[in-house]
A and B are shown apart, each in its own frame.
Chain A
Amino acid sequence: MPELGPVTCAGCGLLCDDVTVETANDGVRLWPECPRGARWFSERMRRRDEAAATIDDEPADVESALARATELLRGARRPLVHGFEGATVEDARAAVALADRLGALVSTGSLAGAWPGAPAVPLRGASTATLGEIRDRSRLVVIWREDPETTHPRLLERLGFGGEPSERTLFVVDDRDTATARRADVRLTWPPERDLQALTSLHVLQRGLPVADLTAELSGLVERMRQAPHAAFVYGPGLTDGAGGQRRALALHELVRALCHERHVVTLDLPRAPGTRSADDVLAWQSGYAGAVDFASGHPELFTAIQPFDDADVTVAVESGPGGCEVAGGGVEVSIRTAAPGVEASGTVHRLDGVPLALQAPQPEDAPTAAALLARLLAEIEP
């Protein structure tokens, strides 16, 4: 049973870099244990029989696939570059360079649920921290409508809730019976439609003002916050997705900002995919804007329309599977296998708290990285 490690696992945005991978006939095991991470490594370690490229699902050689992809992109009227679920910083740098040349729209989110909207942070800002700060200083951690035990299985451990008795308190706001909720010291179970009201009420309460219909749950949380010199809120799509998401996120950051006058309070955002933070950071430094950026006019413009990207005629999906890029349009779909970052190729990734880490390549592969592939496409397209 060969052991590899310690290596960085990019199975979720936590990017745990203390992982030992054990491979055996019956699968992949990870230490420390993590079912999501094991699944992630397993998917990427068993890909050697996959075709190097396909055109409309038929196996093709890489050069033919590249030629077809180039043809599609040259003819594109409204190209869209998206995906990035498993992208490295290097992949994203190459993807944004390609988008700049194409005059494409870039979205660091996936097409599924592609409603970029407007993020809350540019409106007021945020107070944030790396994992170690929360682990070592926050006496109170509130997880707001997220289930990291499923989506980020080692989050609680890495925030210092490892099972030993502690004076720290874990609050979970969720009306679902999730694995995370079952680990809470205190559960708050109002439904999602009451989140905005709850956040606003907390804001009012912490200022010492009266709130109508005050619930025992809210007053208990405020009391705990008043007693904690340092606290953290963990949130993500559970709070911000759907209608009114921006307002709810804004309410959370306003609450934290108000709390910060008397104590140190931070937030931690759980992104949808492990590559999202890296792609967002690259897009911000290369264009000046994060999230979704339109290069169609010859320069970057922040794309904030609340609408799906349904006018795109050619799409480039960057590392949205276990290692591959797809160019699709006009009824043609070109897929080129790439070396999976973190297993077959090394690279740089940004953890969900912004800490940049190296991905190793415990099982190196000759396939190109997405960065190399996108750079090649750019070179082919350049006049």
Chain B
Amino acid sequence: MAKPNFSSALVAAGALGLVVWPLIFREAPLYYQVMGMACLYGTLAVAWNVFALTGAISLGHAAFFGLGAYGSALLDHYWHWSPLLTIPLGALLGAAYGASWGLFFKRLRGVYLGLASLAALEIPKVIADNWESLTYGSLGMVGLSSLPTLELGQWQVTLGADLRAQYYLLLAVMVLVALIHKCGMQSRWGWALRAMRENETAAAIIGIKVNRSRAQALLLSSYLTGICGALYAHILGLIEPALVFNLHISALPLVMSIFGGRGRFYGPVLGAMVLYPLDQLVFQPWLPLGHAAIFGLVIVLTILFFPQGIAAWIPKARKYA
């Protein structure tokens, strides 16, 4: 019964709006940049939520983000491969760390998984900080190649310099990842993850392979997070440990996801689209140093007053979570 309803119409309208507005406002580099980063964080929030479907609250996703960034940056720096290759390959470093979480945190649940993820963020951070012969330590790596220029006949797009093209790239990545999220949530696998969240023993009894499903979710989540980190490194052109293995990078997807609403596939994206521009365009000029406090405030208010997130305010016919 895929009857079009109010909610999906609204989501489609929102997506169309995101595609169309840069065609109307043709000279708005600041807005291209902010919305582009909002899309990157939207992708990050979706990636975080893939693991959160199992009921896990990760405070350590910055580890995957940073490892993806470092993986891609190292390939770029030492072998001079194209970012088109280094981004998907470098993100594998994040996925590898995700696999090790799957192994070592197999028996951890709830609060203790959250604490373990917080501690697990320290390990790659301290290593990247101290392995100076490879990573240049706390100085970080500079001069990374920017995103490549695409050519199709005489039509060419400089993804590195053209902020509008960059915005469209990040938007496309976000839409793709959100669609993966949607398919995942509607599949047997997605339902299995949520069944585990509600009652793991019951889920195991009805034949869900609990450990395998959780490990798959973590692997997908960490790989997608690694992609975000790698994209970030090449957009910025530089990385340093304190920048990517940063607690804020862990916090942002958590806040955006929970604020947006974890029950709908577009919830994390909605959260990012509302919060990031709000933070950058309203609070950043007003409070240049401590503007990220807004994310702390938002998460406190969300948990206390609307734990289902703002997506739950959008009425819909069918319930996914």
B is bound to A: no
Identify the A interface with B (CB < 8 A). none
